[in-house]
Amino acid sequence: MVKSKEEVVQEFRVQSIQEAAMRVIARKGMNAATMAEIAKEAGIAKGTIYLYFRDRDELVEKTFERAIAQLHERVDTVLALGLPIEEKLRELFRAQMAFFRENAEFFRLYLSLRIPSGTSHQKRWQKRHCAPQYQQRITAFASVLEEAMERGEVRRVDPYRLALFLIEGAIAITFERLNESAPPSEESDVDLIVGLAVEGIVIRKQKRSTN
Amino acid sequence: MVKSKEEVVQEFRVQSIQEAAMRVIARKGMNAATMAEIAKEAGIAKGTIYLYFRDRDELVEKTFERAIAQLHERVDTVLALGLPIEEKLRELFRAQMAFFRENAEFFRLYLSLRIPSGTSHQKRWQKRHCAPQYQQRITAFASVLEEAMERGEVRRVDPYRLALFLIEGAIAITFERLNESAPPSEESDVDLIVGLAVEGIVIRKQKRSTN
DNA sequence: TGATTGACTGACCAGCCGTTCAGTGACCTG
DNA sequence: CAGGTCACTGAACGGCTGGTCAGTCAATCA
């Protein structure tokens, strides 16, 4: 019982530190987010962070993992549904856009860690701890696309490249939305992306027969 | 005459410092590239850089401008040709991929500056000096797409979003190529991107009539 | 040839940031 | 209530980086 109470307090501290870290990283970016400011944001002293995280790297890593696990969960849920590919895409982009709206703080962290930068040591660290999380996301999407190719729903191309192209294109639009004072409805942007992905951009005079 | 000679020397110094800066930024990333290492890479003393650039910000800004101007030049050339949209896209992606292959050092600088990060001061600085360069590129492409829409070649959608989607998708694949030990031919990746852009991903049983 | 210039150097400085640790005080325990 | 525990604090430390400037020296000048 006593132990459980301590664990709850521990858990609360860890969580509030991570949430503070996400907010600060969202404001200042990956490199400029200092331990001092994260501590201040969490309303604790700088040293306290080191009672719960070995060093700055571990804090960022755990924070990133916690957040991306939530994204994974949502996206995997909709990808697991046996929908036709067009609907799968729609649900995927919808889930991704909603997630980044609700966790706008996380978005910048995500963008920062996608591309390794910093000292060679930091780069190695990122490649080992964060790139896999990102790649796993692309790979999961790629295998969904590959299945659709085998079912004859999608043209045969390199599925990993296709997944990269679509996800990064969608992220670019999601990022653009964050910088707009009055972005259009999410649904209309999802429609735009799905439309581009499915039909491409050219106008066809002849009506297509989907089957 | 004397002045001209001095100018040549000056020009040479500026250029070699900028090239060194690009190489170091390519290796270490935007934030970890130190003045000391840039100086060492250029084979001069740290103080010498400050004879040609006011501070670190100015060095990065001028370096970025010089490099992106070259990219602009190439891309504008192919966009100005009166080609049908599919060929325009092909030439655009081809030019972009070739540029980033020949200037791989610049690529990381480009990726870093696309997304503002750092202190709020740095962010404002980037937004003022670098974002316009990037946005201008998107806007130029967007207006090409808009013209194609008016000619009835392309479906009517928000041209800026369309441009964002295509360029960022293409950049993601270009970036992926850098991390592959044996990437496929550039031409095949350009074909992939153009194919996606023009026709989308779904399989149509019926043959399309392009006119 | 001696004086002058100014491009170049690199040791130095101030400030920042991650990390540490001796100290504090609230809370439990016997 | 005295003694002990421990989560928490924040001043201090060490390392690093952008920027400075007194000094050096080769080229130029008179």
- Beta carbons within 8 Å of B57's beta carbon, 6+ residues apart: B125
The reported pLDDT for the residue numbered B207 is 45
> Considering only CA atoms, which of A42, A106, A29 is closest in space to residue B120?
A29
Alpha helix segments (H runs only) across chain B: 2-28, 35-42, 46-52, 56-80, 85-102, 104-114, 120-129, 131-150, 159-179, 186-199
Q: Is the CB of B117 under 7 A from strand D?
A: no
Residue B76 is which amino acid? D
Which carries the bigger pLDDT value, residue A191 or residue A2?
A191
Which of the nucleotides in strand C have any atom less than 7 Å away from a protein CB atom? Answer: 7-11, 16-22
- For nucleotide C8, the protein residue with its alpha carbon nearest to C1' is B48
Which carries the bigger pLDDT value, residue B66 or residue B193?
B193
DSSP SS3 for A32? coil
Q: Residue B30: which pLDDT band, with cuts at 50, 70 and 90?
A: confident
Would you tell me which residues 55-94 of chain B have a C-beta closer than 8 angstroms to some C-beta of chain A?
A: 85-86
Residue A210 has pLDDT above 80, yes or no: no
> Considering only CA atoms, which of B63, B50, B54 is closest in space to residue B23?
B63
DSSP SS3 for B89? helix
Tens of pLDDT, residues B109-129: 787 767 656 566 666 666 666
Give me the CA A36–C1' D11 separation in Å, rounded: 14
Tens of pLDDT, residues B135-158: 888 999 999 999 999 998 888 999
Which carries the bigger pLDDT value, residue A28 or residue B157?
B157
First to last CA, chain B: 62
DSSP SS3 for B203? coil
> Considering only CA atoms, which of A114, A153, B172 is closest in space to residue A144?
A153
The reported pLDDT for the residue numbered B107 is 82
Tens of pLDDT, residues A97-130: 999 998 887 787 787 767 655 565 666 666 666 5
Six token digits for residue B206: 């019926």
Q: How far is A52 from chain B (nearest CA, A)?
A: 25
Q: Residue A68: which pLDDT band, with cuts at 50, 70 and 90?
A: confident
Residue B18 is which amino acid? Q
Helix axes A159-179, A85-102, angle to 10 degrees: 40
Residue B37 has pLDDT above 50, yes or no: yes
Using the Cβ of B118 and the Cβ atoms of chain A, whether some distance falls under 8 Å is answered with yes
Q: Give the nearest partner residue to A197 out of B86, B172, B200, using CB atoms.
A: B200
Residue A156 has pLDDT above 70, yes or no: yes
Other Cβ atoms less than 10 A from the Cβ of A90: the count is 21
For chain A, give the percent of residues with pLDDT over 90: 54
Q: Residue B163: which pLDDT band, with cuts at 50, 70 and 90?
A: very high
Alpha helix segments (H runs only) across A30-185: 35-42, 46-52, 56-80, 85-102, 104-114, 120-129, 131-150, 159-179
Residue B86 is which amino acid? E
Q: Residue B20: which pLDDT band, with cuts at 50, 70 and 90?
A: very high
Six token digits for residue A69: 């696990």
* Interchain contact, B201 vs A196, CB within 8 Å: no
